[in-house]
Amino acid sequence: MRSSSNLLNWLLAISLLIYPIAVNAKLDSGKVHLSGVKSESTLVKFAISSSSTAKIDVNFTSYGMYENEQELRLRIYIDDDWKKYKKLTLCSEKIRLAQRAIPIIFDYKGSMPDDRRGKRGKSVEMYTARVQHEIMNPPNLRRSVKKDRRRYFYFVVDDCSLERFQHDAQIPDMLYDLSILNGRPKGTGKLHWEHLPADEDTVGYLLVLTIISSGLLTMLLFYRLARSVGGEVHVAIGKLSLSCDIYLSCELLF
């Protein structure tokens, strides 16, 4: 009877390993300050699985009014064009390679305390903008793509008008918070959304192997310790060690 109870306890603990866990998107944040010399800024690159879709969600906060946002854009590039993009000098030349150009339009949020270093205690007019978009891989191109494969996408904020007018004094600091979800196609035809980019596909398998190996080593350690003192290992100790392994591995994975 006791062995059956212990077996059931172990099965319940192991089921935690294979139970689906909700995950959040890949998160990134930073600061952007455009100028006539630097009229574009790369936010992040992200690998999207072949025959798949990704979702991007970016929140911008502007410390002061962005007075002329007519050419302010979030542009999306693919790795097929990125080497050529890096070789070009002018913003007006680079944007011809973009797959998508999404306007960034700010809304006024009011006067708020300035939390930037060296400016705390002052007030600043705050503006916010949000950009949401779905990205297809392979992209729906105006020109052909070599093949359907895992592909890197680059997300860039730019304002090409700065090259022409040099109105740097009117450009405020912008902070951004960005999240991306990679949609992986499943046999049912639905997409499974997860935070891992396609270039980290093998990480999950490595962590599962780590869970199994570390759990077995921990059980062996307790067994040898109990034998050395002439006792036996209580099942609760074994379950606790396995639960810790599961928790730590899930923290690393998600």
In the predicted model, is pLDDT for residue 248 greater than 80? no
Task: Determine the pLDDT at residue 182.
Answer: 85
| Most confident of the ranges 16-20, 144-148, 163-167 | 163-167
Check residue 15 and give its pLDDT: 46
Q: Does 240 have pLDDT greater than 90?
A: no
CB atoms within 10 A of CB 23: 14
CA–CA gap between residue 53 and residue 75 (Å, rounded): 17
Per-residue model confidence as pLDDT tens digits over 193-209: 776 666 655 555 555 56
At residue 22 the predicted structure's pLDDT band, cuts being 50, 70 and 90, is very low
pLDDT at 244: 55
Residue corresponding to tokens 């730019």: 158
- What lies within 8 Å, CB to CB, of 14 at 6+ separation is 242
| Token pair recorded at residue 233 | 């290992």
- Res. 143 pLDDT band, cuts 50 70 90: low
Which residue reads 């059980």 in tokens?
219
Confidence of residue 118 (pLDDT cuts 50, 70, 90): confident
Q: What are the pLDDT digits (tens) for 92-112?
A: 999 999 999 999 999 999 998
pLDDT of residue 5: 47
Region 123-146: what's the mean pLDDT?
Answer: 82
- CA dist 229 and 54 (Å) reads 56
Instruction: Report the pLDDT averaged over residues 118-132.
Output: 89
Give me the pLDDT at residue 49, please: 83
